[in-house]
Amino acid sequence: MNDVIYLDNNATSRVAPEVLEAMQPFFTDLYGNASSMYTFGGKVEKYIQEARAKAAALLGAQPEEIIFTSCGSESDATTILSALQTQPGKRHLITTRVEHAAILSLCQHLEAEGYDVTYLDVDEKGRLDLNQLESSMRDDTALVSVMFANNETGTIFPIERIADMVKSRGILFHTDAVQATGKLPINLSTLPADFLSVSGHKLHSPKGIGMLYVRRGTPFAPFLRGGHQERGRRAGTENAPYIVGLGKACELAMNNMQYERTEVARLRDRLQQGLLEKIPDAIINGDQEHRLPNTLNIAFKAVEGEAILLMLDRYGICASSGSACTSGSLESSHVLRAMKVPFTYAHGSVRFSLSRYNTEEEIDYVVKVMPGIIAELRAISPFA
In the complex, minimum distance from the CB of residue 102 to ligand PLP, in angstroms, rounded to a whole number:
4
Cβ-contact 103, 79 below 8 angstroms: no
In the complex, minimum distance from the CB of residue 305 to ligand PLP, in angstroms, rounded to a whole number:
17
Q: Which CB atom, from 194 or from 275, has the smaller least distance to ligand PLP? A: 194
In the complex, minimum distance from the CB of residue 384 to ligand PLP, in angstroms, rounded to a whole number:
32
Q: Which CB atom, from 22 or from 102, has the smaller least distance to ligand PLP? A: 102
Q: What is the DSSP letter of 371?
A: H
Q: Which CB atom, from 208 or from 371, has the smaller least distance to ligand PLP? A: 208
Q: Which CB atom, from 26 or from 242, has the smaller least distance to ligand PLP? A: 242
From first CA to last CA, the distance across the chain in angstroms is 34
Q: How many CB atoms lie within 10 A of CB 326?
A: 8
Determine whether 98 is exposed, middle or buried from the number of CB atoms within 10 Å of its CB (0-12, 13-18, 19+).
buried
HSE on the CB side for 334, CA within 13 Å? Answer: 13
Q: Which CB atom, from 186 or from 377, has the smaller least distance to ligand PLP? A: 186
* Distance of alpha carbon 238 from alpha carbon 142, whole angstroms: 30
In the complex, minimum distance from the CB of residue 155 to ligand PLP, in angstroms, rounded to a whole number:
11
Among 190, 243, 265, smallest CA distance to 55 is for: 243
Q: How many CB atoms lie within 10 A of CB 217?
A: 8
Q: Which single residue brings its beta carbon nearest to ligand PLP?
A: 72
Q: Which CB atom, from 23 or from 102, has the smaller least distance to ligand PLP? A: 102
For ligand PLP, the binding residues (CB under 6 A) are: 71-73, 76, 100, 102, 147, 151, 176, 178-179, 199, 201, 210
Among 15, 38, 107, smallest CA distance to 355 is for: 15
Looking at the chain, how many residues does it have?
A: 384
Based on the residue annotation, tell me whether 325 is a catalytic residue of this protein.
Answer: yes
* Distance of alpha carbon 133 from alpha carbon 126, whole angstroms: 15
* Distance of alpha carbon 151 from alpha carbon 108, whole angstroms: 20
β-sheet bridge partners, residue 141: 92
Marked catalytic residue, from 107, 250, 318, 325: 325
Q: Which CB atom, from 78 or from 381, has the smaller least distance to ligand PLP? A: 78
Cβ-contact 304, 330 below 8 angstroms: yes
In the complex, minimum distance from the CB of residue 76 to ligand PLP, in angstroms, rounded to a whole number:
6
Q: Alpha helix (H) ranges present in 127-216?
A: 130-136, 159-168
Among 326, 328, 372, 333, smallest CA distance to 350 is for: 333
In the complex, minimum distance from the CB of residue 10 to ligand PLP, in angstroms, rounded to a whole number:
6
For the chain, count helices (H), then strands (E).
Answer: 14, 15
In the complex, minimum distance from the CB of residue 297 to ligand PLP, in angstroms, rounded to a whole number:
13
Task: Using alpha carbons only, give the angle 253, 180, 337 rounded to the nearest 5 degrees.
Answer: 150
Q: How many CB atoms lie within 10 A of CB 190?
A: 9
Catalytic residues: 325
